[in-house]
């Protein structure tokens, strides 16, 4: 009986440690994602402002269409690249947040 209580306490302590490590990983990962989103937002705003200035300065309708087309193409490519990068960041975050619990699942079966 005493052995089971000690095992249960160790299991509980292990779960707490794994949870704290996981929360630390989640915190760092979410900060990295927030920084990435802020950088992308700033870059997209600057590109939109530059395109607007070029559009205002266009001397002809053809030039205006060219500026708009270039901006849309660039904005779309940037968006696709950013969503891919964010997807990778989220996937890596999920993997890293799960790592502290990998050893705990084997112990859960042995503690009864």
pLDDT at 101: 80
Residue 111 in any domain: the answer is: no
pLDDT mean by block of 10 residues, the chain; 112 residues: 70 81 91 96 96 94 95 96 96 90 64 51
Residue 33 in any domain: the answer is: yes
pLDDT digits (tens, 9 = 90+) for 30-54: 999 999 999 999 999 999 999 999 9
Residue 112 in any domain: the answer is: no
The structural domain count of the chain equals: 1
Residue 20 in any domain: the answer is: yes
pLDDT at 20: 86
| pTM for this entry | 0.74
pLDDT at 50: 96
Q: How far apart are CA 32 and CA 37, in angstroms?
A: 9
Residue 68 in any domain: the answer is: yes
Residue 35 in any domain: the answer is: yes
Which domain covers residue 55, as residue numbers? 2-106
Residue 63 in any domain: the answer is: yes
Q: Determine the angle formed by the axes of helices 61-98 and 2-56, rounding to 10 degrees.
A: 170
Q: How far apart are CA 41 and CA 35, in angstroms?
A: 10
Dihedral sign computed on CA atoms, order 35, 41, 44, 49: negative
Q: How far apart are CA 46 and CA 31, in angstroms?
A: 23
């Amino acid at each position: 009986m005493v052995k089971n209580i000690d095992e249960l306490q160790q299991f509980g302590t292990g779960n707490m440690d794994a949870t704290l490590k996981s929360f630390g990983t989640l915190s760092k990962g979410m900060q990295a994602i927030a920084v990435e989103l802020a950088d992308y937002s700033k870059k997209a705003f600057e590109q939109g402002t530059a395109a607007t200035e070029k559009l205002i300065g266009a001397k002809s309708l053809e030039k205006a269409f060219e500026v708009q087309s270039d901006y849309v193409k660039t904005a779309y490519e940037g968006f696709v690249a950013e969503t891919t990068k964010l997807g990778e960041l989220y996937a890596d975050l999920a993997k890293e947040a799960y790592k502290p619990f990998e050893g705990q699942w084997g112990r859960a079966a042995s503690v009864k």
